[in-house]
Amino acid sequence: MNRFFNLYSNCIPVKGSEESIIIDLQNTEHINVPNLLFDVLRKTRTHTIDEIKNFYNNSLDEGIDQYFSYLKDIGYGFFTDHVEMFPELNLEWYSPLKVNSAILEIHEDCKYDFNSAIKELSSLACSSIQIRMSHPDVNNILSGILDATRKSRIRNVEIFLPESLYEEHYLKYLDDIENRINTFVIHSVKDEILTQDLYKNYKYHIDHKLIFKSETINSATTDHIKMENFIINMEFFTEAQQCNVALNRKICIDNEGNFKNFLAHKSIYGNFRNKSITELIEDREFTRKWFVNNDSIEICKDCQFRYICFNNSDIEFNGHSWQKVNECPFDPYTNLWKTE
């Protein structure tokens, strides 16, 4: 009998208040496991299987054998005599970039020069920009965005448009490989089922470059927290060890030109009309929330999903601890999701 059981280094257990998960970073999935198994797995790198069984007075022998066999069968772990030959994954995260993504709001009475903002974001090596547009002059604005992003360091531009402003000829931009516009999200769609059906054989729709939603997207819109929206990959997981991934390195500019951590947040950190993005990211007040990860936030710190959950809720410090402003539908203390 081999003496140790070892999880593959890409399979990482995370404990919650009521239940734990093992996150498989390579296959981008997770499984639920009892907290007792989490406690057992924490000992596997330093104790043989027999030692672990003894620790529990041999009362868990059968369960330990069954779980280890199960984890081996599903490719999460293996038996070995030389556990020291399999080091744990290095979870340090580092990025030289100070800005990674941005959301710009452009309505009819837009008060700031969004093309200048896009150029500055490009100079800061920002890779993705989401433009939430409800300006009727879509053609001119799209041309401006094309000029500002062509040959830039920006890699993805997502355009959000209400159905009332959408015209099919905008999709020609998706064919131009030199431009950076790669997704159109058409929201406030009156009949989503009918529209999805109409476009079901359309190549852009199949490739998720043309997306229809009945929901209205505006500055108050936040991402939904649900199992399907969890993000499992090495980059996200390691960043989440140190940062609030939904806010970290993100710049949001509302229609007035106000800087925010996220459009739906109330706090404003100056205005693009009299402050550059370069100055903004030197402002410790603005970047403070980037570094408050879920381990430091009440409730989330006890949640097994804290390193795979993307949640752009504002956070507040009450003098003792950080709290999320928006309520989450998952309760780690009951291990239940609220149904909508």
Sign of CA dihedral 336, 27, 225, 39: positive
Tokens of 234: 């090495």
**Binding positions for ligand SF4, 215-234, rule CB under 6 A:** 225
User: Which residue, 152 or 304, is less far from ligand SF4 as judged by CB?
Assistant: 304
Q: How far apart are the first and last CA of the chain?
A: 50
Q: How far apart are CA 105 and CA 225, in angstroms?
A: 23
**Rounded distance between C-alpha atoms, residue 21 and residue 23, angstroms:** 6
User: Binding ligand SF4 by CB under 6 A: which of 22, 106, 309, 315?
Assistant: 309
Least Cβ distance, residue 186 to ligand SF4 (angstroms): 28
Q: Which two tokens stand for residue 103?
A: 């959301």
SS3 90: coil
**For ligand SF4, which is the closer residue by CB, 76 or 322?**
322
Please say whether the beta carbons of 45 and 78 come within 8 A.
no
Instruction: With beta carbons less than 8 A apart as the criterion, state whether 11 and 41 touch.
Output: no
Comparison of 155 and 338: residue with beta carbon closer to ligand SF4? 338
157/303 with CB nearer ligand SF4: 303
Choice from 89, 232, 268, 299 touching ligand SF4 (CB under 6 A): 299
Q: Would you say 2 or 229 has its CB closer to ligand SF4?
A: 229
31 binds ligand SF4 (CB under 6 A): no
Q: Which two tokens stand for residue 167?
A: 């015209």
Among 149, 306, 314, 315, binds ligand SF4 (CB under 6 A): 306
- Residue 269 or 305: the one with the smaller Cβ distance to ligand SF4 is 305
- Please calculate the CA angle 231-234-237 and round it to the nearest 5 degrees: 60
Cα 244 to Cα 174: distance, rounded to the nearest angstrom: 32
Number of residues near ligand SF4 (by CB under 6 A): 12
**Residue 240 touches ligand SF4, criterion: CB under 6 A:** no
By CB under 6 A, the residues from 311 to 330 that bind ligand SF4 are 311, 328, 330
Residues that bind ligand SF4 (CB under 6 A): 225, 294, 299-300, 303, 305-306, 309, 311, 328, 330, 332
